[in-house]
Amino acid sequence: MAPTTVLTGARVVLPTGTVTDGRVIVEGTRIAATAPEHAETLDASGHWLVPGFVDLHNHGGGGSSFAGGTAEDILHGVRTHRAHGTTTLVASAVTGDLDFLARHAAMLAELAEQGDIAGIHFEGPFISPCRKGAHNEDLLRDPDPAEVRKLIDAAHGHARMMTLATELPGGLASVRLLTEHGVIAAVGHTDATYEQTVQAIDAGATVATHLFNAMPPLGHRAPGPVAALLEDERVTVELINDGTHLHPASLQLAFHRAGAARVAFITDAMDAAGFGDGRYMLGPMEVEVADGVARLVEGGAIAGSTLTLDRAFQRAVTVDGLPVEDVVAAISANPARLLGLDDRIGSLEPGKDADLVVLDEDFTLKGVMRRGEWVVDPQLG
304 is in an annotated binding site: yes
Helix (H) or strand (E) holding 38, with range, is: none
Give the CA count within 13 Å in the CB-facing half-sphere of 334: 25
Nearest Cα to 283, choosing from 69, 19, 115, 20?
69
135 is in an annotated binding site: no
Helix axes 224-231, 194-203, angle to 10 degrees: 40
Nearest Cα to 313, choosing from 359, 379, 356, 249?
359
How big, in percent rounded to 5, are the helix, strand and coil portions of the chain? 30, 30, 40
Angle at 42 between CA 40 and CA 46, to 5 degrees: 165
330 is in an annotated binding site: no
Torsion of CA 343, 347, 348, 351, to 10 degrees: 0
CA 148 to chain centre: 22
Tell me if residue 184 falls in helix, strand or coil. strand
84 is in an annotated binding site: no
Determine phi and psi for 317, rounding to 5 degrees: -85, -45
Residue type, 117: I
123 is in an annotated binding site: yes
136 is in an annotated binding site: no
One of 268, 271, 342, 353 is an active-site residue; which one?
A: 268
- The verdict on whether 268 is a catalytic residue reads yes
303 is in an annotated binding site: yes
**Binding-site annotation: residue ranges for Zn(2+):** 123, 189, 210
Annotated binding site: 123, 134, 189, 210, 213-214, 221, 245, 302-304
Active site residues: 268
Binding-site residue positions for substrate: 134, 213-214, 221, 245, 302-304
